[in-house]
Each structure stands twice: as structure tokens, then as C-alpha cells.
Amino acid sequence: MSLDDLYREVILDHYSHPRNKGTVDPADIVREGANPLCGDEIRVSLRLRDGLVEDVRFDGKGCSISQASASMMTELIKGKRVEEAERLIGALKAMMHGEDLIEGLGDLEALQGVRKFPVRVKCATLGWITLEQALAELASR
């Protein structure tokens, strides 16, 4: 199996069996993001506790890349410190814009192949940018 096939399989697995799908209840914040170029919509809800992302969920519709990336995001971010979540958002965005992937990002590696298709980069970053905006809004309260 080629690396591209493997990556495709990881993305399809998250798309068909999304992790942490739904809405956190009660949530500290709910944020919606959209990528009109592709028709992707993502809603991110989360709850913080003692500086940790206690729970994070997503809901939405759109292409496999947008939904799979959001699924991977919730899996990775849940239970992490807010600062670590912010660092991971930065790492994902840097990767999608051509930098090497840092170690330990698990399934996110599968999104590297998307970089070859600039139109799809917005799909892959949608959930992350929505999460970033949610965290920024919480920090400003």
C-alpha cells in the first residue's frame, strides 16, 4: 500500500467514524466556521476546566477532508492544556502551509497529502481555525 493510499484510508476512517461528534453540554463556547469554496461547515463546542480542554466536540457537514480533520482535532485536543492546544493549532497550520510535521501528531500526518491541493487546505484547516477563534474568544472574556 502506498503512503497516499494509507493517508486516504486514515482520512476516510475519520470521515466514516467521526470521533467526538456532537455538542458539548454544557459548553463554555460554541463557534461555527464555514468554507464556502467547498461548502464545508463545522461547529466546535468545548468546555475548559482548570486550564485543560475538558471536552471538545464537533458537528458539521462537508467534504471528507474537512470532517476528518475536525475529528482528528478533537481526538488530539481533548484533555490537553489550552496552551498545548494553541501550539497544536499553530503546528497544524504550519504543516498545511508547507512546513514539516512535528512528531507526535498521530493521524494528522495523513493530512500532509492535502498540501498538494491548495484549494483543499482551507478544508483541512477549517475546524482548527474555528477552534482557534473559540479559544481566543474565551481568553478575551
Q: Which x/- pattern over 111-130 shows residues binding Zn ion (rule: CB under 5 A)?
A: ------------x-------
Stretch that binds Zn ion, among 4-12, 20-28, 33-41, 69-77 (CB under 5 A): 33-41
d(CA 141, CA 138): 5
Q: Which of 27, 29, 34, 38 binds Zn ion (CB under 5 A)?
A: 38
Minimum distance from residue 13 beta carbon to Zn ion (Å)? 17
Residue with smaller CB distance to Zn ion, 53 or 72: 72
Contact 31, 47 (CB under 8 A): no
Among 42, 19, 31, smallest CA distance to 107 is for 19
The CB-of-119 to Zn ion minimum distance in angstroms stands at 8
| Candidate segments 13-21, 34-42, 91-99, 127-135, binder of Zn ion by CB under 5 A | 34-42
Where would I find the beta strands (DSSP E) of the chain? 29-35, 40-49, 52-61
The DSSP bridge pattern shows strands 40-49 and 29-35 to be antiparallel
φ and ψ at residue 75, rounded to 5 degrees: -65, -40
Residues that bind Zn ion (CB under 5 A): 38, 40, 63, 66, 123
